[in-house]
Each structure stands twice: as C-alpha cells, then as structure tokens.
Structure 1
Amino acid sequence: MEFDIFLKGYFVGLPLIVAIGAQNAYILKLGLLKQHVFKATIFCILTDILLITLGVLGLGFFIKGNQTFVNAMAIFGISFLVFYAFTSFKSAFKNESLKIDNEIKTDPIKKVFSLLFMFTFLNPHVYLDTVFLIGGIGANIEDSLKIYFILGTSMASATWFFALGYGARVLIPLFKNPNTWKILDITIGCLMLYIAYSLTHLLIF
C-alpha cells in the first residue's frame, strides 16, 4: 500500500512539475552555463516539497477561496515576467555564443536564488499546480499514508530538476553557435510573455 501511494505521488507530480514554465527555463539556462546547477536544483526541489506538503495539509483550500491573494500574486508575477522577458530579448541581440566555465562571468548565487524565488513564489500557476492540484489529491489520502505521497512527489521533482539541470550539458556544443543562443533567449522571452498573459486570466476584481 505504501509503495502504491509513493508511485501515485510520483506519477501525479511528474507531469505537472515537468510542464514547461519560467522556473524550468531558467534551470535549463543555468545548466547550459554550468552555473550553480546543484544549488539551484536543490532550491527548486525544496520549494516543491514545501508547497506540496502545505497543499497536502490543506493550504490549497485557502488559496482557492482567497481571490485577493491570487490577484496580488498574478500582478507581481506579470510584472516580473514581463521584465525578465525584456532582459531576455535584450540579451538575444548581443550576438553572444555559449562560453563555459572560466570564460564567462558567473552570476552571484544570491542573484540566482532571488530569481528562482520570484519565478517560484510570484507565479500563481505554481500554487495551482503544486498546492492545489497535487496537494489537493494528497489531502484526500489517509493521514498515515500522506508522507508516502509527499515522498513520491518529492522524488518526481528531484528526477526532473536534476535531469534538466545536468542534462542540459548535452546541448552545450549546440549552444556554442551564437544563433542557437539567440533563439533560446528569444524563446525564453516569448515563454515569459505567454506565461504573463496566461496569468491575466486569473485576475478577478
């Protein structure tokens, strides 16, 4: 029974965590640059565990019924994503190729954590996926078995983020071409704008 609940958590969590979003795009970029990959992936995994656990414990019902909270997160999220999209488009026109290790300036870890924090906690979709959807499913599981569901979703998160962060290195030769890097920056910028637009549907005044 415990293993069945673990597998349920894993396979419920994986597709929602894998869904392409701002956080995933940023981890991919860090993986390509080989910058703070381990710390960044651990941050993402721990925040997933935190939010899913809160959802399993019932926070999803609070979020579902609190439109003021959703509106505030949506507004902050839209503002941040539009700003980051602008920086991505700006970067796309610098005509840079991928430089590895000592050839490129490494962003301070504080900046990386700050961006990840905003990508995570200023995006209402994160709450809807991890807290409400995944957490809502876990909340209906017998109390003594909830820990196995959380462990399953935690493993799904770890599987995805480590695969994304370290698997990105396979693409490094491709991104030594300036045009490929430009395409990535433009794609990330468009993705941020799309996510920002999708957040407007959550606004209710």
Structure 2
Amino acid sequence: MLSIFFQGMALGAALILPLGPQNALVLNQGVRRQYHLMTAGLCTLSDVVLICAGVFGGSALLTQSPLLLSLVTWGGVAFLLWYGWGALRAAFSANVALASEKAMQQGRWRIFATMMAVTWLNPHVYIDTFVVLGSLGGQLPAEARSWFALGSVSASLLWFFGLASLAAWLSPLLNTVKAQRIINALVGMMMWGIALKLALQALGMR
C-alpha cells in the first residue's frame, strides 16, 4: 500500500505546487507573521475535506451539476478581482508602510473568511480534488483509496506548513517597503490573471 500512498502524495504535490490563490495567501500571512500557521492549518483542513470527498465519490456531484460549477466559478472571479484590486492598491499606494500596517491589523476572523473564500470559491480546487484526484482514486479498491487520500493529504500538510514557516523565516528580508510593493504587485496581477482565465473558461473561450 505504500506505493499507493506515494502515488497519492506525488499527484497531490503536482497539483498543489503551482502558485495559486491559496499559496499566495499563505505566503503573505507568513511574511507578515500574522496567523500564518492558522492559515496553513485551515488550508490543509479544507484540502482534507475536499480530497476525501473527491476520492470517496464526490466527483459525481460536480460533473452532474454544471450550474453549481458555474456559480462557484463566477463567485470566484468576483472575489479574485476584489482581492487583486486590494493587493495592487497596496502595491502602488503612496504610503506602502501605512497600507502594510492596515493589513497587519486584520483580525483572525477576517483572515479566516478570506482563506475560506480563496479556497472554496476557486473552481480549480474542485477540478483538482474532485475530478483529477477523485477520478483516479475512485478507481482503486476501498482499502487502497484510503492510502491514496492519505498520501494526497500529506502533500498538502507538508506544503502549506512548509511554505508558511519558510515565509515567516524569511520575513526580515521580505517585510520591507520595496519587497512588499513587489509581493503585492505580483499577488494582485496573479489574482487578476486567474480571474480572467476562469472567466474565459466559463464563457467557453479556452
């Protein structure tokens, strides 16, 4: 069963490593050293729920409900545009230090809500967990599915906590005015780029 475990871990890692909204949020909170481990834990917990739902039969729900996928997609587009606008506004603010200070004052509940939106309003999350992992894991025998899901979950846990810890460790280098401008600009452009890609896919212009 170890081969199934490592197969799930390898596939989970391949899906989670590309920079996306979740990774950007964990990175940002790590640089600020603000509830970064909580953010990593919530991202991991969300992946546990989504991966298990996908591997143990939830993929049928998504494939049979185009309306649900459409609602999630456009909700995600709206949120990513809003989040990207906030990051770009902070990047080009006349007083980036003040903008960073305001960001640091975010309470844990606002960070929690942002993380939940970034995760659950991102249709790519459902495609990765329900369609890709679900279709592959769902073909395995019942006992092997558990090992496959455990491997995929382990990849998420190691990645999110590793990213949060590394960002916090590098915080003295990255938490400067110049670095914050660059990080916020990159995050803003990435969020808008993902939103545009999602919108084009939803409109059938792949």
**Does TM, normalized by the shorter one, top 0.5?**
yes
Q: Which amino acid aligns with 1:60?
A: S
2:144 is equivalent to residue 121 of structure 1:
no
2:146 counterpart residue number:
147
Offset at residue 170 of structure 1 (A): 3.7
Offset at residue 97 of structure 1 (A): 4.9
2:40 counterpart residue number:
41
Percent of pairs identical after alignment? 30
Is there any run of 5+ residues in structure 1 with no aligned partner, and where?
none
Offset at residue 17 of structure 1 (A): 1.2
Offset at residue 107 of structure 1 (A): 1.9
Paired residue secondary structure (2:202): coil
Offset at residue 138 of structure 1 (A): 0.8
2:196 is equivalent to residue 197 of structure 1:
yes
Asked if the contact 1:97–1:176 (Cα under 8 Å) also holds between the matched residues in 2, the reply is no
C-alpha root-mean-square deviation of aligned residues, in Å?
2.1
Sort the Cα spacing of 1:90 and 1:61 in 2 relative to 1 into closer, same or farther, 3 A. same
1:177 counterpart residue number:
176
Asked if the contact 2:73–2:202 (Cα under 8 Å) also holds between the matched residues in 1, the reply is yes
Distance 1:9 1:105 in 2: 36
Paired residue secondary structure (1:159): helix
Distance 2:50 2:181 in 1: 34
Q: Return the TM-score normalized by structure 2.
A: 0.91
Q: Deviations over 1:80-134 (max 9, x none)?
A: 1101111111111234359x9x9x8442111111001100111101100112111
Asked if the contact 1:81–1:192 (Cα under 8 Å) also holds between the matched residues in 2, the reply is yes
Offset at residue 144 of structure 1 (A): 1.5
Q: Deviations over 1:19-58 (max 9, x none)?
A: 2111110100000011111211111111101101110112
Asked if the contact 1:74–1:202 (Cα under 8 Å) also holds between the matched residues in 2, the reply is no
Asked if the contact 2:56–2:145 (Cα under 8 Å) also holds between the matched residues in 1, the reply is no
Q: Deviations over 1:132-175 (max 9, x none)?
A: 11122111111112111111111100110011101112432332
Asked if the contact 2:56–2:134 (Cα under 8 Å) also holds between the matched residues in 1, the reply is yes
Offset at residue 191 of structure 1 (A): 0.4
Greater displacement, 182-191 / 166-175: 166-175
Offset at residue 179 of structure 1 (A): 1.6
Q: Return the TM-score normalized by structure 1.
A: 0.91
Once the two structures are superposed, the pairs formed by residues 46-85 of structure 1 within 5 Å of their partners are: 46-85=45-84
Q: Which amino acid aligns with 2:9?
A: Y
Q: Which amino acid aligns with 2:59?
A: G
